[in-house]
Amino acid sequence: MKAVGYRKSLPIDAADALIDFETGKPEPKGRDIRVAVKAISVNPVDYKVRKRAAPPEGETRILGFDAAGIVDAAGPDVTLFKPGDEVFYAGSILRQGTNSEFHLVDERRRPQAEDAVIHAGRRAAADLDHRMGIAVRSPRGGARQEF
């Protein structure tokens, strides 16, 4: 799989401060889910990890803390998710990062279903619009709504 990482903590303008590389697809064990990563964000944790924590000699550290994607596989002890579930989450700095095609995350970190987050975000936006006295058009092209 493709990934982005670093081998040494170098200034960001150095040619090999960040590198694209190929690595093996991780296999889920225990309560891990494997996520086919569809989106990532840059988190301040990424900057701090790259600046302060060099990987062991000869190894490459994958950066990334936040991700959204689709569960691709689940370890044998997983009970909360199944392949096909859409999730987003913050990973762990103790593991490889999310800037890769696939990522392992322990289900106990409580990845969230994207639909629930999108609904919550829309509701929060509608509540804010209501407080400001703004009429909102449905994102699906429906009639104007007052909340």
Supply the pLDDT for residue 133. 59
Supply the pLDDT for residue 99. 93
Whole-prediction pTM value? 0.74
Burial class (CB in 10 A: 0-12, 13-18, 19+), 84: exposed
CATH, domain 2-110, list 3.50.50.60, 3.90.180.10, 3.40.50.10860, 2.40.30.10: 3.90.180.10
Please report which helix (H) or strand (E) contains residue 10, including its range. Answer: none
* pLDDT mean values, one per 10 residues, the chain (147 residues): 94 92 97 92 84 90 90 96 90 91 90 60 60 54 44
Instruction: Find residue 87's DSSP bridge partners.
Output: 69, 113
- The ranges assigned to domains in the chain are 2-110, 113-147
Supply the pLDDT for residue 143. 47
Supply the pLDDT for residue 77. 97
